[in-house]
Amino acid sequence: MTPLVVFLLVFLSFPALVNIVYSLSDVTFQTMRAPEIVGLRNFGEVLIDPEFWAASWFSLRFGVLTAVIECSLGLALAIFLSPIVSRHGWTMAILMLPMMVAASMVGLMYRLVLHEFAGPLPHYLTLWFGTSPAFLDANNAFWTLVVVEVLQWTPFAFLLFHVAYISIPSEIREAAAMDRASAWKIFWRIELPMMKATIAIALGIRFIDGFRVFDNVFALTGAGAGGSTMSLSIYIYQSFFKGGQIGQAVAASALLFLASLVLLYGGALLHSRLGQRRAAA
Amino acid sequence: MTKMRSLMAAGLAAFLSATAIPGIASAEVTVLGWPGGSEETALRAAVEAYNALPDVADDDKVELLFFNRDGFYDKLQADLAAGSDAFDINLIATYSVGRYAPFMEPVDLGADAEKVFGKPILETMQFEGKQYGVPTDLSLHFMYYRKDLIDALMSDEGAKTKFAEISQKYLGEALEPKAPDEWTWNDWAVTALYFTKSVNPDSPVRYGTVLQMKNLLFNMMVFQSLPRAYGADWMDASGKVTVDSPAYRAGLELYKKLYDAGATPKDSLSYEYPETNAAWTSGQVATALQWNAAAGELMNPDTAPGVAENTAVVAPPAGPEGRKDHIHGLGLGLNKNSKHKEGAVRFLKWLASEDAVLAYAKAGGSPALSPSVVEKIAAERPDLVKLGEFAGSYGYVMNGATSANALSIYEVQAKEFTAYWAGQKSLDEALSAATTSMTDLLK
């Protein structure tokens, strides 16, 4: 028990305590050892900073969109490719490849792929259609980033759904088929409800990953023209290291932590209420 | 037995962490250098030469330490703030001298240093009048241009009419083609428009120029020589921020005009150093304002086979205040927490000597040297002659650009200026926001 307590104290409590102190202090790199307590000022400054809200909105949109698209595509692939993947296991390895690449490398790779002069995509688009869109300009960058994220992480959702899909006992499908249920009905009434928990988990994981996105966005567009692709993680990083506003950066992290806590607690509460209602019915 | 092995492993780890790491800092002078590239190669050669000197004591021998370039300054900032003594000498740059100065100690490089480097170059490593480092490498910008295209333009009488038409349409005055050495920023802009396919369908290349417009602090360094040529500065002598000035407006508007006219690639708002090089080597660009460090790649037939032989450089074009070229130096300075300060200072003084800079330059470094010193290496490194010439004649450092918040100021400018170029903010809004943030940062 003692080692566990020591571990928790050293690795969790101390950083948490430092973060709390810093979030309530006027502190820079020069004054890290002598922070001046200023109360809730940092929180106030973060909350009235339009950049914080713009970054939060970017992260929220990015997280929701990528999670929904990845899970929809992953689910479709799991169902349509299930016979092939079950028969030829090696195809799974190929489908998983994008996940194996570090996110920052993906960002760098797409910087090359989308470059007007060096990239294959603009080259062929120009060759075939006489022009190529500016994938990374302020108007298109958001959607380009969504596509890049989806291409990398849809295999993760696919993997979860494939496992859930093949875990459904075949007897259930056979029984439904004997009752003349159509393929759509089998999917809608049997398979989908049985995969509900996996779908919720996949959506949750992908949303969290999308919401806290940093590496590939930072490598591909940075904060974007006028901060147009600044995620909350990039905002915190820039405030901390580039701006040297340590107190504000930590306060923003704390706000993010509180928002996550409220979201998770709300989700758990909703789940429990729904469970109770179902049991009562 | 397993328990014994675990204990032995733990003991070994404890021994190593207690002895090896402090050992680096105390046995010799440890230098934390800029990793990768010519800077590392040159520093290694210089250190080898220093360590081989007969009068260098064993305790003063220099050892090098490198970590990755990615996030280098963030890691250095964290190390310095934590009071690390794992290195005695660390890298600094002009734009970060003020930020790191509280964790460093000024050094007296001696009277000869000025003879070796010249006053403006030494100033790139100064903060509040104190010398914080030896300027080892200098960065500035060249205007790269395609000799074949410009020669063809200059010799084609018929092209002058088209050139004047374009000039009249976009700048409101009929200009004539000029040699790059005589370019004003407007001459360059019209030349860029002339060589833009969407403006002039007869252009042999797709774009007249390639602008680095990504929201990135280094791109502001490239950009600011344009407003500077019109008289721009960050603040006046009284400390008032002067970014909202006719000079900055002229520069920002000219960039936007070129971007909107399609004279630079559509994706320029995501372009930085490597994208510019890729655009140039594609052979589809007529001019580019780019760092001097790119010359090795862009003028080398192995790395730029299609264009190297026709690539030439001049200093950035002139404005009403003449030609201006942003300079910043990389250098080495003394860590305040060093455990071996005397040895470290001895090495820094040697590094500022003529012998040392020549050894450094011969090994591929890019120090800016005074004319009398650079002539000794001109045959081997002709590019250093141009570097010294441009730095000496046109080099400038903005008022406040070595302050503690210089990096943050560049960040602010990058955000606000790119917002204007992307059409997300009006010029007034962008400059007003930049003024507010800069005033706060330069307090």
Q: How many Cβ atoms are within 10 Å of A9's Cβ, its own excluded?
A: 11
Q: Do B214 and A221 touch (CB under 8 A)?
A: yes
The mean per-residue pLDDT over the stretch B148-176 comes to: 94
* Alpha-carbon distance B280 to nearest alpha carbon in chain A (angstroms): 9
B266 and B365 fall within a common domain: no
pLDDT at B8: 46
* Across B28-42, B183-197, B243-257, B315-329, least confident range: B28-42
A266 pLDDT above the threshold of 50: yes
pLDDT at B19: 41
B229 and B292 fall within a common domain: yes
A157 pLDDT above the threshold of 80: yes
Closest in B77, B267, B405 to A134, CB measured: B267
Please give the C-alpha separations between residue B420 and each of B218, B252, B333, in angstroms, as whole numbers: 17, 8, 38
For chain A, say whether B265 makes contact (Cβ under 8 Å).
yes
Which residue in chain B has the smallest CA separation from A114? Answer: B267
Mean pLDDT of chain B: 89
Closest in B269, B279, B415 to A138, CB measured: B269
B295 pLDDT above the threshold of 90: no
- Residues of A within 8 A of B197 (CB-CB) are none
Number of structural domains in chain B: 2
The closest alpha carbon to B272, from B213, B325, B223, B209, belongs to B213
List, for residues B8-47, the tens digit of each pLDDT value: 444 444 444 444 444 344 458 999 998 877 788 899 999 9
Q: Compute the C-alpha angle B281/B282/B285, nearest 5°.
A: 90
- Residues of A within 8 A of B404 (CB-CB) are 30, 244
The mean per-residue pLDDT over the stretch A24-41 comes to: 86
Assign A1 a pLDDT band (cuts: 50, 70, 90).
low
With the CA atoms of B110, B293, B99 and A257 taken in that order, what torsion angle do they form, in degrees rounded to the nearest 10?
-160
The mean per-residue pLDDT over the stretch A162-176 comes to: 91
Q: How far is Cα B240 from Cα B10, in angstroms, rounded to an integer?
A: 59
The closest alpha carbon to B358, from B343, B329, B380, B383, belongs to B380
Q: Do A116 and B213 touch (CB under 8 A)?
A: no
- Residues of B within 8 A of A138 (CB-CB) are 269, 422-424
* Alpha-carbon distance A115 to nearest alpha carbon in chain B (angstroms): 7
* Across A31-40, A210-219, B218-227, least confident range: A31-40
B141 pLDDT above the threshold of 80: yes
Q: What percent of chain A has pLDDT over 90?
A: 51
- Residues of B within 8 A of A226 (CB-CB) are 215, 415-416, 418-420, 422, 424-425
B5 pLDDT above the threshold of 60: no
B7 pLDDT above the threshold of 60: no
* ipTM for this model: 0.79
* Alpha-carbon distance B443 to nearest alpha carbon in chain A (angstroms): 14
B219 pLDDT above the threshold of 70: yes
The closest alpha carbon to B314, from B303, B325, B330, belongs to B325
Q: H-type helices in B261-340, by residue range?
A: 273-281, 295-298
B290 and B431 fall within a common domain: yes
B272 and B320 fall within a common domain: yes
List, for residues B88-99, the tens digit of each pLDDT value: 999 999 888 888
* Alpha-carbon distance A3 to nearest alpha carbon in chain B (angstroms): 16
Q: Do B416 and A222 touch (CB under 8 A)?
A: no
Listed in sequence order, the residues at least 6 apart from B219 whose beta carbon sits closer than 8 Å to its beta carbon are B212, B213, B272, B414
Q: Do B216 and A222 touch (CB under 8 A)?
A: yes
Q: How far is Cα B66 from Cα B86, in angstroms, rounded to an integer?
A: 12
- Residues of A within 8 A of B405 (CB-CB) are 244
Listed in sequence order, the residues at least 6 apart from A49 whose beta carbon sits closer than 8 Å to its beta carbon are A248
Q: Domain with B345 in it: what CATH number?
A: 3.40.190.10
List, for residues A72-85, the tens digit of each pLDDT value: 999 999 999 988 88
Q: How far is Cα A268 from Cα B382, in angstroms, rounded to an integer?
A: 70
List, for residues A85-126, the tens digit of each pLDDT value: 888 888 888 888 888 888 888 998 998 899 988 899 999 998
Which residue in chain A has the smallest CA separation from B438? Answer: A243
Q: Do B424 and A228 touch (CB under 8 A)?
A: yes
Q: Do A134 and B266 touch (CB under 8 A)?
A: yes
pLDDT at B439: 95
For chain A, say whether B81 makes contact (Cβ under 8 Å).
yes
B308 and B165 fall within a common domain: yes
The dotted CATH code for A50-249 is 1.10.3720.10
For chain A, say whether B269 makes contact (Cβ under 8 Å).
yes
Quickly count helices (H) and strands (E) in chain A.
Answer: 15, 2
B123 and B153 fall within a common domain: no
Mean pLDDT of chain A: 90
pLDDT at B72: 83
Domain that holds residue B391: 2-139+328-396
pLDDT at B14: 45
* Alpha-carbon distance A52 to nearest alpha carbon in chain B (angstroms): 14
Do A190 and A105 contact (CB within 8 A), yes or no? no
- Report which residue type is found at B325: D
Q: Do B278 and A223 touch (CB under 8 A)?
A: no
For chain A, say whether B80 makes contact (Cβ under 8 Å).
yes
Chain B, 183 to 222: residues with Cβ < 8 Å from chain A are 213-217
Q: Do A118 and B99 touch (CB under 8 A)?
A: no
Do A26 and A247 contact (CB within 8 A), yes or no? yes
Q: Do A225 and B213 touch (CB under 8 A)?
A: yes
- Residues of A within 8 A of B421 (CB-CB) are 225
B332 pLDDT above the threshold of 80: yes
* Alpha-carbon distance A75 to nearest alpha carbon in chain B (angstroms): 34
- Report which residue type is found at B215: N
B295 and B165 fall within a common domain: yes
Pairing of β B134-139 and β B328-335: antiparallel
* Alpha-carbon distance A64 to nearest alpha carbon in chain B (angstroms): 24
Q: What percent of chain B has pLDDT over 70?
A: 93
